A and B are shown apart, each in its own frame.
Chain A
């Protein structure tokens, strides 16, 4: 592999890993927010039921 090959390998791995982590983090965040919304809705419904 030539010099540029090593450079592109390093840049490719680094940015590939960072972008993958970013998407994984966003997916985890979206799932957690959906779960929280569900919980809030369930609590509101049970509060209405009590009243």
Chain B
């Protein structure tokens, strides 16, 4: 019971910290950072777009880790991690696509184009939406977890493809401004823009871990309900 209460207190603290960072990030992104020399104010969508996709990548990395561990040890805890992270990853990927679409209209003139990076990101969303559907379609819990774990490992292969797509193919999507092998971030981006990006990224990370802690706890409670129902059936 004490452990439970300290977990709840920790989650609340994380949530409050996320709220503060998000508020500071909004101020930096919408007020403090200067407009882009070419794109103007619309470039401010970057302060949402980049943190969203990096959070989605982190989430799918956790799905990958949880899936590998489940395939190895067959423990429900690892499956719960993969399942929870997949749900959050789908949310952040969908948001990234929506933000990108809104950013694309004034800069590219279209809401959507079949560019390599955009298409691969849409495929990523489909893979993990399929992952969630697969889990809900199979009644046997162990079989659902096993099938989902295999898809969770295979699906992760799409992420390096997304990252490298701007180098391997001629794309409309710009190459990375921050994660470049040839330049350090502060050599390429205005310090105020970089600060806004960093604050927003930390805010997204804190929010992500807060949501993940809630989603993990939900998975644990559901498992306990199922176990108790099975026990009651056995009486």
Contact = CB atoms under 8 A, between A and B. Distances in A.
Tell me the dominant secondary structure on chain B's binding face: helix
B225 A32 contact: yes
Contacts of B95: 13-14, 17-18
Contact of B225 (A9, A26, A36): A36
Given A6-B42, A7-B41, A43 B232 contact: yes
Q: How large is the interface on B (under 10, 10 to 19, 20 to 34, 35 or more residues)?
A: 20 to 34
Tell me the dominant secondary structure on chain A's binding face: helix
A35 B226 CA distance: 11
Contacts of A25: 211, 214-215, 218
Given A1-B106, A3-B42, 13 more contacts: A6-B42, A6-B102, A6-B103, A7-B42, A10-B45, A10-B103, A11-B26, A14-B99, A18-B207, A28-B218, A32-B221, A32-B222, A39-B232
Interface of B: 26, 30, 40-42, 44-45, 48, 52, 91, 94-95, 98-99, 102-103, 105-106, 207, 211, 214-215, 217-218, 221-222, 224-225, 228-229, 231-232, 235
